[in-house]
Amino acid sequence: MEYILIFISAIFVNNIVLSQFLGICPFLGVSKKVETAMGMSAAVAFVLTIATIVTFLIQKFVLDVFGLGYLQTITFILVIAGLVQMVEIILKKVSPALYQALGVFLPLITTNCCILGVAILVIQKDYDLLTGVVYAFSTAIGFGLALVLFAGLREQMSLVKVPKGMQGTPIALITAGLLAMAFMGFSGVV
């Protein structure tokens, strides 16, 4: 039951992008097409889940054992950077079109505060490894859901006439705010 609550809470109630405002850069940058949003969601899900496992193990078996907790942030950043490089190499070989579509935003996963934030939150909330992985994967699904919904809304907005002063970033930010308010409706569920 605990895992189901974590799953629902991470996706809807405490959505990492719409509630905690982590991962805004790829949320706004890669959300112009649903296809690229789905690709970015998959890449973030993979990196987020693997990064949580690796950082959890490093925290528990290296940093805590040797009293090096003050190196947590820099260690986690290095692990995430390495994982992103691995994803970038795999995507370049497996799906060159998706690699091109993601462009500069793929390396930005390295500095995506969503991934670092979740890795640190798993340690702060004192989750065990399985609970941490469930939380990380659920958060990645929530990130992907928000990203794909927002991309769909932006694709629809490109088909309508938007006043000149509202085109581009202003209407995107207003839409993101409305989407965040819609997700606030889930706050009483869990």
The domain segmentation of the chain, as residue ranges, is 5-182
State the pLDDT at residue 177.
Answer: 93
pLDDT more than 70, % of the chain = 98
Query: Where would I find the H helices in the chain?
Result: 2-8, 24-29, 34-58, 72-94, 96-102, 113-124, 129-157, 169-184
pTM over 0.85: yes
- Best CA proximity match to 30, nearest among 98, 92, 78: 98
**Residue 87 burial (CB < 10 Å; 0-12/13-18/19+)?**
buried
State the pLDDT at residue 90.
Answer: 87
State the pLDDT at residue 18.
Answer: 92
Please give the mean pLDDT across all residues of the chain: 90
Q: Assign 3-class secondary structure to 132-160.
A: HHHHHHHHHHHHHHHHHHHHHHHHHHCCC
pLDDT band per the 50, 70, 90 thresholds, residue 73:
very high
CB 139 within 8 A of CB 48: yes
What are the CA-CA distances from residue 37 to residues 2, 47, 92, 105, 111 (Å)? 30, 15, 17, 11, 17
